[in-house]
Amino acid sequence: GLAAMKALIAQQEQQKSPSFGRGFDLQAQQFSTQQPQQNPRTDQHQPPTNEMAQLNVSEPRKERVYMPTVTKIGTDGTPLNLSANYVKIFCKHEGVYQYHVNFSPVIDNRRLKMRLLAEHKGRLKTINSFDGSILYLPFKLPDKETIVTSTRE
């Protein structure tokens, strides 16, 4: 456990010789003469440390509910094999909204676009899902068209 790890570190600190210049030969001698350390095991129970006391225990996650697959078959036309690639989105909010972002003047550098958009993080709350032109937000913006101004340094 943690106590054994601390004991091992303390033991290694005691074995170190006084430091005086670290040449390659000195390091090679240390590595060739040291024996592998054995991990001391103790059966004694140690009291929790400060780090352990600061840990937070939370409720276990709810198990996901999977809905049955829906199969729809047409009655007219020619049969055709199709497949779909999709990503299922689980969110606490009512949905995900997609916004097209334009820059004027036009900017090609994606990092610069991210920096300029990050200036408005207070209003947009999150910009983690922005690819340079499409922004996905977990909430609907109040206006049909939102215009913000940024300055490029």
* Phi and psi at residue 49, to the nearest 5°: -90, 175
Whole-number mean pLDDT of the chain? 75
Domain count, the chain: 2
CA distance 116 to 119: 6
Structural domain containing residue 26: 2-41
Strand segments (E) across the chain: 97-100, 134-137
- What is residue 119's predicted lDDT score, i.e. its pLDDT? 87
Q: Are residues 151 and 90 in the same domain?
A: yes
Choice between 61 and 40, residue whose per-residue pLDDT is larger: 61
User: Same domain, yes or no, for 29 and 93?
Assistant: no
**CA 76 vs CA 81, 136, 143: distances in Å:** 15, 37, 43
Query: pLDDT at residue 37 above 70?
Result: no
The 3-state DSSP class for residue 52 equals helix
Q: For residue 141, is it within any domain?
A: yes
96-122 per-position pLDDT tens digit: 888 898 888 888 898 888 888 888 888
pLDDT of residue 52: 72
Can you name the residues that pair with 137 across neighbouring β-strands?
Answer: 97
Q: What's this model's pTM, rounded to 2 decimal places?
A: 0.40
Q: Tell me what pLDDT residue 5 has.
A: 76
Same domain, 89 and 141: yes
CA dist 84 and 22 (Å) reads: 61
Any domain includes 54: no
Going from the C-alpha of 112 to that of each of 98, 109, 130, the distances in angstroms are: 21, 5, 12
